[in-house]
Amino acid sequence: MPVAFIDSGIGGIPYVLTARDYLPHEQFVYVADTALFPYGDRTAESIVQSVISISSTLLDTFAPRVIVIACNTASVFALPVLRDRFDVPFVGTVPAVKPAAELSKSGNIAVLATSRTVGAAYLDQLVETYARECIIERIAGSELVSFVEQGGWRASVEEIRSAIMPTVEMLQTSRIDTLVLACTHFIFLKEQFESLLGPDVTVVDSRDGVARRIRTLVSDSEESAAGQTGARADMLLCTSPDTRYEALSKHFGFDYSGILENEVPS
Ligand code: DGL
């Protein structure tokens, strides 16, 4: 019984890589909902419908022990519905506002996310609950999502720097000391954000928190998984034909497993 991950594209892969470090004996199944990419441009209803449908197919096909919604946009809209609907535990990736508020000394924090996440009531609630005293700047970075998905995940340092420079310049004028990467695609840009923003800005993401939560949820069966010899290969599926994902699967150590049939919401 694997641990399953869902994102609109490549964004959840860094979360699997971290989870592998925490749980080296587990098998992971990754679904890129390429048919509906980018989630940031879709309605909340379409995203919720698609993630429900993928979860249902994953449960029927692979019986995962845990499903990770490795996407902030899908998490902020779909988590309550998914938890209501299915018995399997769901782990979400929600904007790391709480750790950012704990870390920030000045209280000036920026949240970089998709336009959907930036406008989500869920984010309002996180701010209200954990960062009431802080000044939170919300920045939509949809063009960075496309950049990463279209090849930015393996771009050179120079290419990444030039893609993120407009955002970096905007952040430099706002005197933040903490930046939350609240879209999983942006993990691929983290190193260059850190390098350009310098040591006075802490760049926060949720990979370790998510991996720890998965470990807690699977810990009951960890012993038996650890006892197995030759763990099965991790699998990657897309919801639409996409040849780029074959090369990408190999690069990140997945067996490319073709298409996961999913009705594309209108
Ligand atoms: N990776 C996703 C997130 O964390 C969404 C990117 C998109 O499809 O717009 O928000």
How many degrees, rounded to 5, is the angle at CA 20 between CA 203 and CA 77?
60
pLDDT tens for 45-75 read 999 999 999 999 999 999 999 999 999 999 9
What CATH number does domain 3-93+208-259 carry, 3.40.47.10, 3.40.50.1860, 3.40.50.10490, 3.30.460.80? 3.40.50.1860
List Cα–Cα distances, 36 to 31, 130, 142, 220, in angstroms.
Answer: 12, 32, 15, 35
How many degrees, rounded to 5, is the angle at CA 131 between CA 143 and CA 123?
40
Rounded to an integer, what distance in angstroms lies between the CA atom of residue 218 and that of residue 230?
19
Neighbour tally for 89: CB within 10 Å: 16
146 lines ligand 1 (CB under 6 A): no
Is 71 labeled as catalytic in the residue annotation?
yes
Rounded to an integer, what distance in angstroms lies between the CA atom of residue 22 and that of residue 215?
7
| Second CATH level (architecture) for the domain 97-205 | 3-Layer(aba) Sandwich (3.40)
30 lines ligand 1 (CB under 6 A): no
Neighbour tally for 16: CB within 10 Å: 24
pLDDT of residue 220: 62
The domains spanning 3-93+208-259 and 97-205 adopt the same CATH topology: yes
Domain positions in the chain are 3-93+208-259, 97-205
3-state secondary structure of 175: coil
117 lines ligand 1 (CB under 6 A): yes
pLDDT tens for 175-210 read 899 999 999 999 999 999 999 999 999 999 999 999
3-state secondary structure of 238: strand
Low-confidence residues of the chain: pLDDT under 50: 227
pLDDT of residue 6: 98
Q: Select from 114, 150, 210, 264 the residue to mutate for testing ligand 1; criterion: most ligand atoms less than 8 Å from CB.
A: 114
Q: How many helices (H) and strands (E) does the chain have?
A: 11, 10
pLDDT of residue 261: 85
Rounded to an integer, what distance in angstroms lies between the CA atom of residue 66 and that of residue 18?
16
pTM, entire model: 0.95
Closest CA to 11 of 190, 157, 136, 162: 190
207 lines ligand 1 (CB under 6 A): no
b/e sequence 165-200, b meaning 16+ C-beta within 10 Å: eebbeebeeeebbbbbbbbbbbbbbbebbeebbeee
How many Cα neighbours within 13 Å face the side chain of 89?
12
